[in-house]
Structure 1
Amino acid sequence: MIWKLEAQWEEFIERVVDQYSDEVFRENFRLARNTFNEVLRLVKDRISTADMAVGHHTISAKAQLLITLWYLATPDSYRRSPPYSGAISFKIFPSTIGAIDGTHIPIPQPKDHGISYINRHNYSSIILQAVCTPDLKFIDCYAGEVGSCHDANVLKRSPLGNVLLQGPEESFPNDVHMIGDKAYPCLPQLMVPYRDNGHLTRMQQNFYFNLSRARSTIERAFALLKNRFRCLQHLNVLSIEWIPKYIVACCVLHNICIENNGAPMKHSRSIIIKVVRLGILTSLN
């Protein structure tokens, strides 16, 4: 029976998926067909067929990747992603490399230490912390902290936080910095709003407004990510160890979609992302 299921997948891909128009393929799997083929080329040697083996039969790397993309994009029957309409520029804040924020990824409540996963909105979640550029691409991602963890503590525990607190000069040369909301501490490399005590000057109010507008880029990036890969609206994965990897994999694919926009992939090695423990997006160069 399992072998028949595997055979049905291969037959379905050959007879149905391979006949999809480019538009239908992209609608179902979120990647243009030529981008999918390039991603497959990059990962096929790393996909373990042993894990998918059934007797003497295995599911092909192509089928595994298609199944994965289908799952990430389609937890239900609704498939609509908001149009990508560009991003707000950071030009008003010179030397800003990105906007930072955190977002909650809903998950089933774990059996162990389940209370710690409940966030301020009263549901269980894993936190994704990310930094994005004006074009909504992620340049740093960190996932794995429990939902009850405050944004400032997530930053402190992340590799990016270690850089900011211990040796920022090498990673943030020439006075470059990030922007964030009031949940984060004000640091030389992290610009946050003034505390609004009701007595802000006109200049401070203008700064507050412009910073909030620029920082909204990360909120738009999260919205685009979750609508493109709708599994992140409720990640029904029981293994806590695997959840950060799912999340960061979606971030990687999100970058690929934006970078290529349906065109053939260029400089493909530059978007190979190393996913390590707790789901850290460690290289974009």
Structure 2
Amino acid sequence: MSATSQQTVPEQFLGFFDDAATFPPGLAPVEQAVTDHVARRSSPFVPAVGPAVLALADLQRAREVADALDLSGGPVEVSVVTPAGALTEALEAVEDVRPQLEVVAIELKTDPQDRAVMAEQIADAAAVQGIPVFVELTAAQVADGALNLLVGTGLALKYRTGGIEAHLFPTPQELGDVLARAVAAGLPFKLTAGLHEAVRYTNDATGFHHHGFLNIALATQAARDGEPAESIAAWLAQTDPDVLGTAAAASDGAWRESFRSFGTCSVDEPADSLRRLDLFPTLTTNQEHP
């Protein structure tokens, strides 16, 4: 593929990298994460960066940090990771952290052990007005039909694609099934955990098989096009960067209607992986990572 001459972020990647610097494996202190997030506003590639993803317990400290920064560009947009049962607290925090922070989304965990309690938590989330809510479901919850509880509510799905143990990484078949179910149900989704590179790879140190976010994008497109489960899983298992890069370059980006974003502890990593595929603007000698 020829080097791109494009100097702006491609539309299909706008707001795609949610800045989850405080979460594993990065585990940046809140002070550093918020400061870096604001400093990144000077980067020409900031349109690719979504909100700062922060734990509910960290919001007040984040507000204090932001209060000492130059916020002439506007408040820090935040997506709040909310424990099961703490939705009311999160909604109260929306007002408490203004004007330094602006909560633009809530990522709500649910009770994985009790379906009745989970259903109540989802119903409460569906009543929220004015703020998108992504409901986190486990693989077991999805297999048990929990996606049906989100249909028609205006809620979106949050799903984990990795973790600190091998069993937390779904296989291409398992992830493909979730993607297909979400697409069929008309549910947009965001993903988190283990998504560092555009192309599927195996970590040499851990042996973990990490999904590529570009693999997921193309698998999502296949699901939207009504392709069979085998084709969806094949996109997720693909490790040839040329195949994925060529397909992505030809895509109209309609997959973003379903695959809204993903959390990453380093927004530089996914951007760099797209640059290696000539799918993202290349930094010039006068441009540096923030």
Q: Normalised by the size of structure 1, how large is the TM-score?
A: 0.25
Q: Normalised by the size of structure 2, how large is the TM-score?
A: 0.25
